Amino acid sequence: MARAELMDFDKALELFEPVIGLEVHVELNTTTKMFSSAPNPANSQFHVADPNTLITPVCLGLPGSLPVVNGEAVKYSISLGLALGCEIAPSSRFARKNYFYPDLAKNYQISQYDEPIAFDGQVEVELENGRVFTVPIERAHMEEDAGKLTHVGGSTGRIQGAEYSLVDYNRAGVPLVEIVTRPIFGGEADTPALAKAYVATIRDIVLSLGISEARMERGNLRCDANVSLRPRGQEKLGTRTETKNVNSMRSVERAVRYEIQRQAAILAGGGTIIQETRHWHEDTGATSAGRPKSDADDYRYFPEPDLLPVVPSKELVDELRAALPEPPAVRRRRLKSEWGFTDLEFQDVANSGLLIELEATVKAGATPAAARKWWTGEIARLANAAAVDASGLVSPEHVAELAQLVDSGTLTDRLARQVLEGVIAGEGSPQQVVDARGLAVVSDDGALIAAIDEALASQPDVLAKIRDGKVQAAGAVIGAVMKAMQGKADAARVRELVLERAAQTA
């Protein structure tokens, strides 16, 4: 794939104003699917399943099968709409979106078209630099997810060269809410960061509502980013591209930035932007052209005749409104004061999108300081190295356990980092990794003293220096002991004992 020409980001901002629109798909974690009583793989209890085992005749669109709306999914959708500051439609209905592609067996997707359940909202988004943005929400509508295709054969394994495709319908019919923003103006140089912060805020909202597992690496939360540029001073919006399925918060920011730079180079060179779907490639950090907007986008929507209108009572809406959790902005203020972090420390956590993880880690027994240290330190570093989101790497419970093992003196920081790697590698809980790898600190003074005496005996010159009061010479002995203990000793304790032994053996 030839890499597109990119314009310097600052230069692009000088010449053009970026305008974005974001579509976020949220898989709800109800027990069953949207229109069928099949188990829902977006609920963690059914996440691991063999292909085509989470389906009913409805998921396959078999003759005679009829969809029935999951009442719980409707409640979740209303709650989400309310949390997005939306109006809830007094009456909304489902529509068929017709297309022929084997990811849905019945050749249409049940969605909502002209009567979405929620509309006209706004979400407050706080950027990493502290800037607060209000993102306008156009609508949030209910629909069903499609099945998963695996393309087999061909030279590259990618769809272009595929000989055939294998279809697993487990995901077909998973309840989705699609949240669509209005065009977002004024982001300017913060536009990529704004896109990321928006997705992080949506994730915070659905997690606090408890309506989705919201794990981006599992596709519970997916973002399509529309990006267009217009020359400074021009009123008319530029032609937009839609980058599909950007599956980590980090990628959302990168993909938007990339499209701004790519489109700017084309426009400045006198070219035109083609309205098309683009695919984001995590490995190369680039987007590539997908299919152009074409006849295939003629979805011939019409009202779904198999389903009845959804008319939520005022009582139900009021009840769900009363049960809403505190908005993310309010929550941030509360957590900052509870944890006693400085502005800088709190910003550090918030910027890494790890508030929920930190809160859960503290709840599981870690001190706020220890939770912050691990999440924004070693875990963030490992996540960065692996180019994944830290939230998917390790559970808050395991981090809390790790912090407690350090607090209790079972592990040094150095050993704890090794244990963390084991936990991430799937070797079990921190305690299990400690046991399996034999990583606990040697807290048996007897074993330490034996190693110290041996080291002192083999380095009589060092012993002499220590006795002369040159305590910094003890470093060589400490090093030898740590090596003998394979690093599994508390260096401070070893130092104490070295000085003690050096004095005693006089």
Partner 1 sequence: MSEITAEQVAHLANLARIALTDEEIEHLTTELGQIMHAVEQVSEVATPDVPPTSHPIPMQNVFRDDVVGTTVLTADEALAGAPESDDSRFKVSAILGEEQ
Residues that bind partner 1 (CB under 8 A): 30-32, 36-39, 50-58, 60, 62, 68-74, 91, 93, 98-103, 146, 150-151, 153-154, 159-160, 162-169, 277, 290-291, 295-296, 298, 300, 303, 305, 308-312
CB of 99 to partner 1, least distance (A): 6
Rounded CA-CA distance 169/149 in Å is: 9
Computed on alpha carbons and rounded to an integer, the radius of gyration of the chain in Å comes to 28
CB of 479 to partner 1, least distance (A): 55
Nearer to partner 1, 130 or 154 (CB): 154
**Contact, 160 vs 289, CB < 8 A?**
no
Cβ neighbour number for residue 406 with a 10 Å cutoff: 20
**Contact, 356 vs 391, CB < 8 A?**
yes
Nearer to partner 1, 298 or 343 (CB): 298
Nearer to partner 1, 312 or 430 (CB): 312
Nearer to partner 1, 91 or 384 (CB): 91
Helix axes 314-322, 71-83, angle to 10 degrees: 60
Nearer to partner 1, 55 or 355 (CB): 55
Q: Measured at the alpha carbon of residue 65, what is the angle toward residues 63 and 71, in degrees to the nearest 5?
A: 155
Rounded CA-CA distance 133/126 in Å is: 6
Nearer to partner 1, 72 or 282 (CB): 72
Strand, coil or helix: 219: coil
CB of 321 to partner 1, least distance (A): 18
CB of 279 to partner 1, least distance (A): 8
CB of 351 to partner 1, least distance (A): 34
Strand 221-231 to 87-88 pairing: unpaired
Nearer to partner 1, 211 or 484 (CB): 211
CB of 104 to partner 1, least distance (A): 8
Can you read off the two tokens belonging to residue 96?
């068929």
Strand 87-88 to 118-126 pairing: antiparallel
The DSSP code for 131 is -
**Contact, 408 vs 437, CB < 8 A?**
no
CB of 219 to partner 1, least distance (A): 15
Rounded CA-CA distance 263/229 in Å is: 7
Can you read off the two tokens belonging to residue 291?
């299919």
Nearer to partner 1, 10 or 163 (CB): 163
φ/ψ of residue 247, rounded to 5: -105, 25
CB of 308 to partner 1, least distance (A): 5
